[in-house]
Structure 1
Amino acid sequence: MTGPRILFLGGTGVLSSACARELADTDAELTVLTRGRDSRRPVPENVRTLHADVRDDRAVRAALGDETFDVVVNFIGYHPDDITADVARFNGRTGQYVFISTASVYARPAPRLPVDEGAARRAGDFDYPRLKLECEETLERAYRREGFPAAIVRPAHVYDEQVLPLLAGWTVIDRWRRSRPAVVHGDGTSLWNLMHARDFARALTGVLGDDRITGSSLHITSDEVLSWDTIHRTLARAAGVEPLLVHRSSEDIGREIDWMGPVLTEDFRHSLVYDNSRLKALLPRFGPEIPFRRGAAEILGWYDADPARCRTDEALDAAFERLAGV
């Protein structure tokens, strides 16, 4: 007896590649639909791969033919038009459609903590969560009006060994190794959630096809609560350096680095702690296995293994110098 037929829209990103690896050695019949570009995260050899741009409806329909799936997971939907197209493509062709959204759709500051799946959603002016929220609303209408078998999964901040979970990326590590300070927004005490992609993958693959999530939303986030100062210090320890920190307001940073402004003022500066009770009820044996101190060591190991990966941004470095006042 064969396992479930699962389709991933996307398969080479941080989340989707980890989930593909998690399913690769199971009895699931996994198909990954990607654009076919080279990636640092290749699809496992025993996973079927199809190539098409998901925003080219004709190409997608040609690639999939009349196939049906038990579960379709969309990792790369960022605009409500993407969801409208998928509803038209997959209505009647899948038993469950899972949209990977973001926990950034919740109102900031949160009216109450911890945030559960029923908390108020409001995305403000930051385009990424605003469009993800519009995607959710489009999908919810399809479920209510057409019975489209939709489920919404909300991760928070997911990383793997190739992702430094800081907006300035490797530039921060490079500055520390030159004995220069990194700039942290606020006073560094706001609380944040980081989850390793392998832990996310274990949870997501555990609920795929579960009828209890259809028609609803689900958090997949870590129980490890970290301040931004702790995140920086943990990375500094993994890099073998002193964590030199200078604190500046989100607004001040945004004036120096304009693209950081909306991310910091509307998202990162607010404390977020998530209620994972529903996930634990669905998967009683699940628990994240990779604390950030271990994840940070993996990140530094991956970067330090190849100097070509250690790219700094000169404009960011100069902006940090100005903000640090040195």
Structure 2
Amino acid sequence: MKALFIGGTGIISSAITKQLSESGCELYVLNRGRRNESLPANVKVIQADINDEAHVAALIEDLSFDVVADFIAFQPAQLERDYRLFAGKTKQFMFISSASAYQKPLSDYRVTESTPLANPYWEYSRNKIACEEYLIKQYREHQFPITIVRPSHTYDERSIPLGVHGRKGSWQVAKRMLENKPVIIHGDGTSLWTMTKNSDFAKGFIGLMGNIHAIGESVHITSDESVTWNQIYEAIADALGVKLRAVHVSSAFLAACSQEDYTGGLIGDKANSVVFDNAKLKRLVPDFVATTRFDQGIKQTVQHILAHPEYQVEDPEFDQWCDKVIHALDTAVAAVKG
């Protein structure tokens, strides 16, 4: 198989790239070269900015692919560019959308690919929906061979997956745990969520590559494991070897008092209970199974981060914001009690 990844070094794509490199796939990645030191030696790099369409067109003029996958498209205009570049040059075009595009609030907590797409809370999700609609139009009218993939919360060894964290990443929450400081969990922590290790996601994705039954289809790829946010944070604290001091805060309150988009990221996504039905993926990829339980995967992530200081990026502004939110709640309780 001959494949081209636009991106190739992110949380999701890095695991796919690694597994494909071990399978004999002729893999190209097209990116600006900022993190390519982690790429396997046998991956071929096309160093370019995908937004420089004329330059990219010249670089791939004599190339064609079995699969092209865009991991970094977020706007319909970017898919329009991809269509101009790759129509007639690939047997399958794979777009990484998002499971956050599914309707919010959900009419049924069980999510299948037929769950409607509608998210009034998050512009990111609405843009992904618009991207999907554009690609479906090209498939119907021009037979552009698309496959739409919807990840949910996928994590790797470089970042701890959380519900509430600052702009600079999730390390500050881990640091608060290590310092025995209280940690914010949105809602009451009992809503169901799904965490998927990127190596498990990669198995499903690779099974869809070159799969004739996946053409024209939309498929989500997630673990079958459901965990509450309380369990998620407890597992992280356990991996750090500390006791969790949880403070539960309404998602609406967090959205109202933060400069970050918690309306989108929480109310439009993580505050909802979701259980993904992966039956469609398993029909298309019969041997797919996510084998990494969250409490096991997060231990690998935490160990890796503790061993690599470059991933321990502090966020003092977020730390101060957490203290202010918790103080405000304590003050409110004291005022009500009189």
Q: Using structure 2 for the length normalisation, give the TM-score.
A: 0.92
Task: Give the Cα separation in 1 of the matches to 2:227 and 2:295.
Answer: 11
Task: Give the Cα separation in 2 of the matches to 1:225 and 1:56.
Answer: 42
Deviations 1:199-225 (A, max 9, x none): 111111112011111111011111010
Deviations 1:279-321 (A, max 9, x none): 1112222211111111111111111113343222111111111
Match of 2:206 in 1: 205
SS of alignment partner, residue 130 of structure 1: helix
Match of 2:308 in 1: 306
Q: CA RMSD in A?
A: 1.3
Deviations 1:42-78 (A, max 9, x none): 2111111111111110121122123111111111111
Do the aligned partners of residues 308 and 250 (structure 1) sit closer, same or farther apart at CA in structure 2, a change above 3 Å counting?
Answer: same
The answer to whether structure 1 residue 25 and structure 2 residue 2 are counterparts is no
Please say if residues 97 and 149 of structure 2, whose CA atoms lie closer than 8 Å, have aligned partners that are also in contact: yes
Aligned residues: 322
Please say if residues 256 and 319 of structure 1, whose CA atoms lie closer than 8 Å, have aligned partners that are also in contact: no
Paired letter, 2:117? R
5+ residue gaps, structure 1: none
5+ residue gaps, structure 2: 331-338
SS of alignment partner, residue 129 of structure 1: helix
Q: Choose the corresponding residue for 1:91, options 87, 91, 114.
A: 87
Please say if residues 257 and 316 of structure 1, whose CA atoms lie closer than 8 Å, have aligned partners that are also in contact: no
Pairwise CA distance, 1:158: 0.5
Pairwise CA distance, 1:255: 2.7
Matches within 5 A, 1:138-287: 138-166=134-162, 167-168=164-165, 169-262=170-263, 263-287=265-289
SS of alignment partner, residue 111 of structure 2: coil
Task: Give the Cα separation in 2 of the matches to 1:114 and 1:265.
Answer: 17
Paired letter, 1:199? D
SS of alignment partner, residue 38 of structure 2: coil
Please say if residues 78 and 128 of structure 1, whose CA atoms lie closer than 8 Å, have aligned partners that are also in contact: yes
Task: Give the Cα separation in 2 of the matches to 1:314 and 1:256.
Answer: 17
Paired letter, 1:55? N
Pairwise CA distance, 1:103: 0.4
Match of 2:3 in 1: 6
Please say if residues 159 and 311 of structure 2, whose CA atoms lie closer than 8 Å, have aligned partners that are also in contact: no
Matches within 5 A, 1:287-302: 287-302=289-304
Paired letter, 2:50? V
Match of 1:109 in 2: 105
Q: Using structure 1 for the length normalisation, give the TM-score.
A: 0.95
* Runs of 4 or more consecutive aligned structure 1 residues displaced over 4 Å after TM superposition: none
Pairwise CA distance, 1:268: 1.1
Match of 1:15 in 2: 12
Deviations 1:81-126 (A, max 9, x none): 0111111111111111010111000001211131110111002141
Please say if residues 159 and 171 of structure 2, whose CA atoms lie closer than 8 Å, have aligned partners that are also in contact: no
The alignment-based identity, stated in percent, is: 37
Task: Give the Cα separation in 1 of the matches to 2:30 and 2:54.
Answer: 14
Task: Give the Cα separation in 2 of the matches to 1:100 and 1:309.
Answer: 25
The answer to whether structure 1 residue 100 and structure 2 residue 96 are counterparts is yes
User: Which range is displaced more, 301-310 or 195-204?
Assistant: 301-310
Please say if residues 192 and 271 of structure 1, whose CA atoms lie closer than 8 Å, have aligned partners that are also in contact: yes
Pairwise CA distance, 1:177: 1.4
